[in-house]
Structure 1
């Protein structure tokens, strides 16, 4: 939900509550004031009636009185009645049967009381509007404080999602927002501990494997030539590649790598990468054959291109094309494309380690894309992974200015 929308919804609820409360209070005050005025008018009318009866004054014909009053007088009892006369003016009548179809009647005007009540209503409406004028900005300000804290929590959550596990939010207080912030901080701390433990484990395994691996490599050179020896040497080569990749990932995880920037002819770098990994591909160069030049780290960029070419050969299909443009290298194959879940994670800068994309083992160890993303982060390159409409998979390497 948009924080501004939430703020205005809270302000609207507070305003509605204040309006309803003011209306109820105004209604109660109106009713109590009118009941009091009406009670005083009836008391005055009854006193005046007693005086008129004692003096034999104000004798009138019952049928000449208002119909509702005349109907009640026929019961033979004294009547105190409020109503309007033929000019729609408010009066309180007090009447008592006098005999012979006659009655003693007095009436007290309630016009001034009614005018005072209307003036009170206007004053209450004005006071209510003034109160609302003060309540609305105050409610907006009151809603802004928790909204600001919620935005800080959301910003910290986005930073954590982007990979900054050291990000923390201010969790002071004892309300629900503070509990959410404390939970977010606890989650980030747990993730950070697990990630650091994973990185230490990767580095320790890689370093501890180097010594026995070198022993195996040396021993394999002493074996007699033959099919079994070739198989052993091949497996040792695979293991050596895995250890080298793990060591490279451990260095990238340490965030201590710095690029060695220099002018690099992109077309020559692509050709050298193709020659090294032996992947057949169609190279398309924008402009002349020399192609564009970018200032970047040649070793890291070559590693990125080589790993992407190997990935295209392992998981894609021919033809593989490499397009070189100023500050851009696009590698595309015509295979089944990236799985949707992997595509989402790659465009978020995340790669699942040891995911080979195949059910069987032995077809790579699933660290190539992790290394690609790590080197791209060091040189400041942006990688865009996509499944083009014509089929296959494409990766665009966008180098910084």
Structure 2
């Protein structure tokens, strides 16, 4: 069964915890104070009634008259006091009626086997206890509200620092190498959030150094391979005509293309590329380039737009998207221009789940039905070139139709303003 998850802010969790602890402590102390005060009042009431019954006894034995509204052989006298009097003992008894002040009895045996008793209620004293209860309730509420306010204050400060750390970490993940999480959270207090920020900065630096080392190694290897591969391709041109020569030329050309792609990926990973901007009519530009690289594709210009972008890089993106559709998809191939949006769709099996979740990855072509051709560099290069243009590139699978047709859909969103650096918009991968 699915588990329900309730998401709430850290400040409210801290506030709730402090409020619960404050309420527990306030309630416990209130009960202790109430019970102690009540016990003290009851003991004092017993003492008062005992003094009264002794005074009434002395007065009765000397004058045969009664004080303090005392009674002889009161029929309402509790049985416990009758038993104590029968043993010749003086005793007190509390008769709690469940509401208000309890009734206090005191009895003492007198001459001729008779019992003298007095009783009464101390309403004024127990009214003080009610007032004390109200004060304790008000104090408990004040403690709880104060705890909530303190929790909000502490939780808000901690939550704000964590949100700043999360925002800075996202910028680091997007490739901003100048961001330091510890500097972003600020503050003079050095607590666990500061340690967390320092750990994130250290991890980011280590990953950045490792990725830079890998990029340099990849670029160096590809650069070193360029010369021998070029020589191999030149030598293949000198071979005599025939099927073996064609195979050698095809493999040499494929290796040269791979080396160039690896070099391009290395340059894009190094954020060293800059866009050379021109003003173009997007619909006309896309239609002309698509006819050159994929004459069989269907072109639809829903709404034209004038954009400021790098034509060479835009052509590279469109070419790679169409090449990926031709390798892994099925015709018909559709290219649609709608304002600043370019959509490329095929009618194959769609993008693999790994690509939709994690984005394009070099040297990985996805599922088995889309493997075996290519090196996974086409979409990686398209993604990097889109970042240079400040564009947003999304990947998703089309909804199946009644005829069972589906397919992979890549959408390029060009920015409203021209990019001023290696790109100002993140690459987003949107699964259906």
Aligned length: 393
2:427 maps to which residue? none
Q: In structure 1, the residue corresponding to 2:252 is in which secondary structure?
A: helix
Map of 1:224-373 to 2, 5 A cutoff? 224-286=240-302, 292-346=305-359, 351-357=360-366, 363-373=373-383
Matched, 1:41 2:45: yes
Q: In structure 2, the residue corresponding to 1:286 is in which secondary structure?
A: strand
Rounded to whole Å, the distance in 2 between the matches of 1:260 and 1:126 is 71
1:113 maps to which residue? 125
Aligned pair partner of 2:108 in 76, 96, 102? 96
**1:314-342 Cα deviation digits (max 9, x unpaired):** 11111112223332222221111111221
Matched, 1:53 2:57: yes
Matched, 1:66 2:70: no
Q: In structure 2, the residue corresponding to 1:304 is in which secondary structure?
A: helix
Given that 1:78 and 1:96 are in contact with CA atoms closer than 8 Å, whether structure 2 keeps it comes out as yes
Change (3 A) 1:358 1:122: closer
1:397 maps to which residue? 412
- Report the CA distance between 1:124 and its aligned residue: 2.4
Matched, 1:18 2:22: yes
Q: In structure 2, the residue corresponding to 1:225 is in which secondary structure?
A: coil
Rounded to whole Å, the distance in 2 between the matches of 1:81 and 1:75 is 16
Gaps of 5+ in 2: 417-432
RMSD: 3.1
Change (3 A) 1:117 1:310: same
Question: Comparing 129-138 with 311-320, which one deviates more in the overlay?
Answer: 129-138
Rounded to whole Å, the distance in 1 between the matches of 2:156 and 2:391 is 39
Change (3 A) 1:183 1:217: same
Q: In structure 2, the residue corresponding to 1:80 is in which secondary structure?
A: strand
User: What TM-score do you get using the length of structure 2 for normalisation?
Assistant: 0.80
Change (3 A) 1:159 1:174: same
Aligned pair partner of 1:377 in 384, 387, 394? 387
**1:186-206 Cα deviation digits (max 9, x unpaired):** 433333233212211221112
- Report the CA distance between 1:110 and its aligned residue: 2.5
Rounded to whole Å, the distance in 2 between the matches of 1:273 and 1:258 is 22
User: What TM-score do you get using the length of structure 1 for normalisation?
Assistant: 0.85
Question: Comparing 386-395 with 331-340, which one deviates more in the overlay?
Answer: 386-395
